[in-house]
Amino acid sequence: MGTYFAQAISMLSIPNIGLMLGGVIVGLIFGAIPGLSTTMAIALFLPMTFRMVLADGMALLIGVYIGGFSGGLIAAILMNIPGTAASIATTFDGYPMARQGKALGLGIVFSFLGGGLSILALIFISPVLAGIAIKFGSYEYFALCFFALTMIVTMSSDNYAKGLISGLLGVLLSMIGGAPIDGLPRFTFGNHALDGGFDLVAVLVGIFAVAELFELAAVKRKNVIAQVHDTKIKGFGFSLKEFFAEKWNYLRSSVIGILIGILPGIGGSLASLMSYNAAKKMSKDPDAFGTGVNAGVVASETANNAAIGGALIPLLSLGIPGDAVTALLLGAFTMQGVQPGPLLFQNQPGIVYFIFVALLISNVFMLFTEFFAIRGFVNLLKIKREYLFPAIILLCILGAYGLNNRIFDVVTILIFGVVGYFMKRWGLKTQPFILGYLVGPMAELYFRRSFMYSEGRILPFFTSPIALLFYAVALLNIGLAVKEVIKKKSFSK
């Protein structure tokens, strides 16, 4: 291994290190602007790598990859808009903490640490973890999705009925468009713009950003947007005591992020939601989550960045891309004459270890770039809302239009802005809604695939040990929620 690392370091040069830094900065910008994404950034920069030497091309794309995942926390914390889908859970506690300046520091540091640990997992245990991932079939994926959907209950501990309504509303709206497997349009009412359903990013921008603007515009009071008043941030804005208080949260969230990351098609968004839910369940004060607690930001940002290394494990070890971003990276590697898979570690170990080194260096660049920019980010909160509101709505509109170059996505953010506004008015939380919207289509897809494989029989769903484990944990989740309801009723009497 030492020889391979030495070979990888020998491939480093001033130009490709500069490309890593530039890629990180570009990724941060694309991640921070609502509507843009890491996928879009890599797609735009992919043609630039055609004429580059292998090391330079990989350095640029890996920098963009690392920066894009972390950049989503900036908009999530400052404007309550998930810059990327993986930053959804960061808004829950990050935005309420924005005025302290602490949330950004926590998000940045634990993004770095989560990403760093996942890269180490990629280096040392990728073949083992990839072997686990390859055992997942449709039955196991459906069981995982079923377990994820039961988290709707645990996210709604203050009012289970409203939580279930919110989650089921998310599942229902996710069914609009083409059905899984056969692609037949559903609930489109003859509108062909709905054939592909609502774009996820447009839904997120609408439900978080536009709904928030509607709510703020509906009330007449000053300083509705979180404001800072000459807040002096030392270092990253939090103490060593606060840092070490999150050590178990960090380790648990990293493991969740890595394991979810290696499962193709699942992604950092589900990892961050599952990690956030786990942190809430393990907390001594779960009711404080959503009001601005350190643990919420740490759980989300650790897990979604830990998914980076996790997603690269099946890509490099098996040649299987886990999501759209790694699919683009697979295309880039192939065009450069590198074929990811088991033979890559034998035939071109120097290339593999150069990727490892580039990931580590880019992760460090991400930390320092965001550190030096943190005060500038916090100063954005001093802008008066008369100027800030139009700028936010303009970014939302431009980002929505840029998704697919169609006005329908702009209409979508307004529709879901209204949905989000009335959900808040009626006391329906957005967390269960987003979980239902994300996981519902995956659950349906794997359920239908499983039924096809089993030829309509239910029994094969319960023959896999991995699936049975997820079902058991899901039932435990539901059982604990029922116990809590009974306990509350007995106390009320």
pLDDT tens digits, 253-282: 999 888 887 776 566 677 888 888 888 888
Q: What is the pLDDT of residues 306-323, one digit of tens each?
A: 888 777 877 777 666 666
pLDDT at 61 over 50: yes
- 213 against 436, higher pLDDT: 436
Percent of the chain with pLDDT over 70: 82
Out of 96-110, 163-177, 223-237, give the one with best mean pLDDT.
163-177
**How many structural domains are present in the chain?**
1
Question: What pLDDT, on a 0 to 100 scale, did the predictor assign at position 216?
Answer: 67
- 124 against 157, higher pLDDT: 124
pLDDT at 377 over 70: no
Question: What pLDDT, on a 0 to 100 scale, did the predictor assign at position 57?
Answer: 86
Q: What's the domain range around 245?
A: 2-492
pLDDT at 112 over 80: yes
User: Which distant-in-sequence residues (6+ apart) come within 8 Å of 312 by Cβ?
Assistant: 122, 126, 326, 329, 355, 359
pTM across the whole model = 0.70
Phi, psi of 76 (to 5 degrees): -60, -40
Residues 419, 421, 427, 431, CA torsion sign: positive
Q: What is the pLDDT of residues 174-233, one digit of tens each?
A: 899 888 887 788 888 888 888 888 887 788 778 877 887 777 666 654 444 444 444 455
73 vs 117: CA distance, rounded Å: 19
Q: With CA atoms as reference, report the closest residue to 167 among 475, 443, 489, 450.
A: 443
Per-residue pLDDT band at 362 (split at 50, 70, 90): very high
